[in-house]
Amino acid sequence: MAEQKERRSGMWTVLLIFLIGAVPFFGAWYLVEHPGIWGTQGNRGRLIQPPVPVEYDLFHSIGGQTANERSLTQIRGRWVIIHPVVEDNLEACRKTLEDTRRLHPLFSKDIPRVRRLAIWSDDTAPSAELLQGLLNDRDLYLAQVDRSFYDRLSRTIIKAPLRCGQVIIMDPLGNMMMWYDARFDPFDLYHDLKRLLRASQIG
């Protein structure tokens, strides 16, 4: 009888040791595979792998920025939210620009580290109405780019025709590293960029 009790006790000891080692492992696996209320979801935008480096010189200042005289040198070494402007859906452009304008103050002490930039191809200028709205946005930088850069975005990053409402994040080293499709949740962008700002000592 005593021998049976000892055997059971030994089995329970082995089982307990197994559970102590196995539970944390399977718990961690579950949280990675099923992010939710207990898990920590990773990035919500689409990672660009590998990141695509760009030269700041490809962004050309537009002429006559009477309402927006900030120099494009101010985007260098910053986290930049890039808005490609195309003529397919101007309402989507306006909405996304308004969303990021409202998000910008939420970065609090990190506001100086984040810039918003609207770009368009040098062979397709925005409509007069949209351009005036862009000029009136006090926190928005404006730039023209060569058509070849738009083609590069479509071919190597978006891998589809550009649409208004899409957004690309460029890091302080000039690498395009994440993008969001049209109609994305603006708080997804805020979540990702906030994490990047916490993790990064540059910009």
Q: Which regions of the chain does DSSP assign to beta strands (E)?
A: 46-53, 79-84, 114-121, 140-145, 167-170, 175-180
* CB contact burial 190-201 (16+ within 10 A = b; e otherwise): bbbbbebbeeee
Q: How many CB atoms lie within 10 A of CB 62?
A: 18
Task: Look at residues 66, 116, 60, 65 and name the one whose alpha carbon lies nearest to residue 93.
Answer: 116
Band of the pLDDT at 28, cuts 50, 70, 90? very low
Model confidence pLDDT, tens digit, residues 58-105? 999 886 554 445 689 999 999 999 999 987 788 888 999 999 999 999
Q: Do 158 and 86 form a contact (C-beta atoms < 8 A)?
A: no
The structure's pTM equals: 0.77
Size of the chain in residues: 203
Reply yes or no on whether the pLDDT at 33 is more than 80.
no
pLDDT value of residue 127:
83
Model confidence pLDDT, tens digit, residues 168-195? 999 999 999 999 999 999 999 999 999 9
Cis peptide before 50 (omega within 30 of 0): yes
C-alpha distance from residue 159 to each of 23, 26, 153, 162, 164 (Å): 42, 37, 8, 9, 15
> Which superfamily does CATH assign the domain made up of 46-199 to?
Glutaredoxin (3.40.30.10)
What is the rounded distance in angstroms from the CA atom of residue 48 to the CA atom of residue 54?
Answer: 13
Q: Do 51 and 171 form a contact (C-beta atoms < 8 A)?
A: yes
DSSP state of 1: -
Model confidence pLDDT, tens digit, residues 130-164? 888 899 998 999 999 999 999 999 998 999 899 99
pLDDT value of residue 25:
40
Mean pLDDT, rounded, of the chain = 82
Which helix or strand (DSSP H or E) is residue 95 part of? helix 90-103
β-strand pairing of 79-84 with 46-53: unpaired
Band of the pLDDT at 31, cuts 50, 70, 90? very low
Task: Look at residues 122, 168, 118, 164 and name the one whose alpha carbon lies nearest to residue 147.
Answer: 122
Average pLDDT over residues 33-44: 55
Reply yes or no on whether the pLDDT at 115 is more than 70.
yes
